[in-house]
Structure 1
Amino acid sequence: MSECYLAWLCALLITHSGSVFGDITFIERHEGESVVLPCSLESQRVPPVGVYLKRSWLRDSEVVFMYTGEEFHSDDPTIKARTSVSGDPSLHSLNITISQLGVGDTDRYYCEFIVSNQSFDDEHVRAPMEYFLHVSADVSGSVDLELVETCAGGSAVLPCVAPHGEGRAVEGVSLKRRRGRSPVEVLYHSRRPPSSTGFSDARVRLSSAPGPAGLAYNLTLTQLRPEDSALYSCQLLLPGRPDAGAALGRRVFFVSVQGGQCGCSSYSSLLYALSAAAAVLLLLLLLGCVLVCKGKAHRSEKTHPQAPIYEEMVGVQRPGRKPASRLLEEPESSEYRNCPPKKPPCPENHYESPSGGGLK
């Protein structure tokens, strides 16, 4: 039973750690366009004194920094020339606009406020909203972008779609990846051997299941590492149709692999969690036993005093029965005599016939 509970709790922790990463907003832009990234934070007791705009995926770096009441700064002159800021960090809200976007601006962005602390170092408070900016060079159409987050050692399931939504027979499948400005790489192809990008046959699984429009195909990437984070697109190959080549499809998945390990391999935090859970369960069991015992004792106190009262009443009645029987016996005997003894002869009883005589 304890092993089952341990496995269940472990799975619960894995599920929560693999699915809760905060709110993220997808923004799609084409080259040459601009984007506005709002930075907001709930009101603090002490107003923030500064704010950072940072990016973390392809490049882990600071984009701009602004101190309250001053102009913003940037270590990259090209970024500073394309960026403008409206608002102030002390107001808990401001907007950062980046114009003349390029494919290299594709990344994950977030805001981090600086709150002054008199006794300790300044506190860094990360804003709850994150942004994934995807800048595409293709202006012919939009891209359906979706987020898939997992941890190191985990897996990601990517649906594969047929071009133009056709559900005919499938003769192959291809998975393509792009990281920033790098060209699209074909990671897996059923008609060609796997490429040298690190995705071997053991790390790629293709499965099919019946769906509303026929068979649906899913490609599962396993044993993922943080360096596997990229844009992925899975496409089915149909007979008589050429491969799309080095280009992502219309449905693109941003697979973000976090640095933390999946599973229960890290036992330190898990043991603390299990110990805390066991202590809480033990406390609840003890509290339940105490309440049950008190309830039984309370019920026994209510029912126990009735027995002596009953016995006392019975004891009082038993000696009283004898005099009552005697009293009943005495009138009984006098009743047959119709008069008490040692008294003058009774008058004649007209209700009885005199012995040996008739009516006069």
Structure 2
Amino acid sequence: FVTPDLCPVCSGIKFIERSEGESVVLPCRIDQRIPPPIAFYLKRIWLNATEVVFQYTKFDFSASNPTDKNRISLNGDPSNYSVDVTISNLRTSDTDRYICEYIVKRASSEDERIPGTTEFFLLVSADIPSPMDLELIGMCAGGSTVIPCFAPHNEDLAVEGVTLKRKRGRAPVEVVYHSKWHHNGVHSQFPAERVELSSESGPGGITHKLTLQRLQPNDSALYSCQLLQSGRPASRTSLGRRVFFVSVQDSSYPTLLYALSSVVGVLLLILLVVGTVVIFKGKANRSTKSHPQAEIYEEMIGMQSPSRKLPPRHLEEVESSEYRNCSVKKSCPENYYESPSGALFPRKASQK
């Protein structure tokens, strides 16, 4: 069972066939992680897409259809990464694809939904199921698959055509019919451009096969292609001895693009914030440089800055103000920053 990369297909699909009235156990598992799950879902995703059961850790489960709770039982707990779901008294209406989903709580974001490691395809028949050789085929939406056609009784008779039957519900339905005796050649429920019949010679003789193209999720079903042989009536009520379960999943490219666009958006937002901070810091630095502060000794002695010329009268006011707290009898300390004497400014006669 192989699926292309980037397809959100479960790691495995398990086919289970039962008769009406029997029981089935669906083991739901996920890999251990921290923190452990807080809740669990069992869902149908094909014929009747709905939630089947829900269980919150350490609590009893609830069923979407209350009448089903009497025939459903759970063993295990979501916090233990393992829950076994048993469905008893099966009905043909239980035929569907089932997936398990665990809920992990995230404090800083929306709760995370983690699918189980296995998807289950449950087929419930009204009569005793006949043995069949089943092959699983998985693909993304838009892909194609080749279904070989086989003789119903392994008899080497002349081939007059092929018939393809599909089973999604209770009984198989003929979706492609091709016969050399049919006046239109091919009768198909698929659009003609999506079906291709081909033949090729091999060691075992001529083999016939049908190619179904541009498949979509609603095309998922059991398929069986049989040869129409001369003198043998074709059965239209049952599948052939070789059956293919075709599982078509939504392509993950939209999801991938959405995730990439989200990451790019976050990065652009971060770059925008960082750029804004850098621009504001640059403006602040330029503003500081455009208005330099006078050095402290210039402020103390009243030197004129080259950028701003003070009138001479202002200089006299500064000089006189420097000494208004000094006693005439006690001179101020000899400090070029407090008492302008020496080479900078000669001491005046009144200060000597």
Question: Normalised by the shorter chain, which TM-score bucket?
Answer: 0.5 to 0.7
Structure 1 residue matching 2:127: 3-state secondary structure = coil
Name which of 17, 20, 30 aligns with 1:31.
20
Note if contact 1:19-1:150 (Cα within 8 Å) is conserved in structure 2.
Answer: no
RMSD, aligned α-carbons: 2.7
- Report the equivalent of 2:109: 120
Per-residue Cα deviation, 1:261-306 (whole angstroms, up to 9, x for no partner): 89xxx8x95xx8xxxxxxxxxxxxxxxxxxxxxxxxxxxxxxxxxx
**Gaps (5+ residues) in structure 1?**
1-13, 273-360
Shift of 1:21: 4.9
Shift of 1:85: 0.6
1:69 aligns with 2:71: no
Q: Distance in 2 between matches of 1:227 and 1:108?
A: 12
Per-residue Cα deviation, 1:218-253 (whole angstroms, up to 9, x for no partner): 111123233322221110011111111232223222
1:189 aligns with 2:189: no
- Which letter does structure 2 place at the counterpart of 1:102? R
Name which of 231, 247, 251 aligns with 1:240.
231
- Report the equivalent of 1:210: 201
Note if contact 1:52-1:64 (Cα within 8 Å) is conserved in structure 2.
Answer: yes
Note if contact 2:10-2:119 (Cα within 8 Å) is conserved in structure 1.
Answer: no
Shift of 1:141: 1.9
Q: Distance in 2 between matches of 1:148 and 1:231?
A: 10
Name which of 217, 220, 224 aligns with 1:226.
217
Structure 2 residue matching 1:176: 3-state secondary structure = strand
Task: Give me the identity figure in percent.
Answer: 51
Note if contact 1:232-1:253 (Cα within 8 Å) is conserved in structure 2.
Answer: yes
1:174 aligns with 2:151: no
The 1:137/1:252 distance shift into structure 2, 3 A limit, reads farther
Note if contact 1:186-1:195 (Cα within 8 Å) is conserved in structure 2.
Answer: no
- Which letter does structure 1 place at the counterpart of 2:249? Q
- Which letter does structure 2 place at the counterpart of 1:124? R
The 1:43/1:140 distance shift into structure 2, 3 A limit, reads closer
Q: Distance in 1 between matches of 2:124 and 2:52?
A: 17
Question: Pairwise mapping of residues 231-310 of structure 1 onto structure 2 (< 5 A)?
Answer: 231-260=222-251, 269=257
Structure 2 residue matching 1:94: 3-state secondary structure = strand
Note if contact 2:27-2:83 (Cα within 8 Å) is conserved in structure 1.
Answer: yes
Per-residue Cα deviation, 1:58-99 (whole angstroms, up to 9, x for no partner): 122111011111111011123212111111111111211011
Shift of 1:20: 6.1
The 1:251/1:91 distance shift into structure 2, 3 A limit, reads same
1:55 aligns with 2:44: yes
**Gaps (5+ residues) in structure 2?**
261-352
Q: Distance in 2 between matches of 1:122 and 1:259?
A: 22
1:157 aligns with 2:119: no
Q: Distance in 2 between matches of 1:50 and 1:15?
A: 31
Q: TM-score, normalised by structure 2?
A: 0.65
Q: Distance in 2 between matches of 1:87 and 1:161?
A: 44
Shift of 1:18: 5.8
Note if contact 1:231-1:252 (Cα within 8 Å) is conserved in structure 2.
Answer: yes
- Which letter does structure 1 place at the counterpart of 2:174? V
Q: TM-score, normalised by structure 1?
A: 0.64
Note if contact 1:167-1:214 (Cα within 8 Å) is conserved in structure 2.
Answer: no
Note if contact 1:51-1:67 (Cα within 8 Å) is conserved in structure 2.
Answer: yes
Greater per-residue helix proportion: 1
Shift of 1:122: 2.2
- Report the equivalent of 2:100: 111
Note if contact 1:50-1:65 (Cα within 8 Å) is conserved in structure 2.
Answer: yes
- Which letter does structure 1 place at the counterpart of 2:49? D
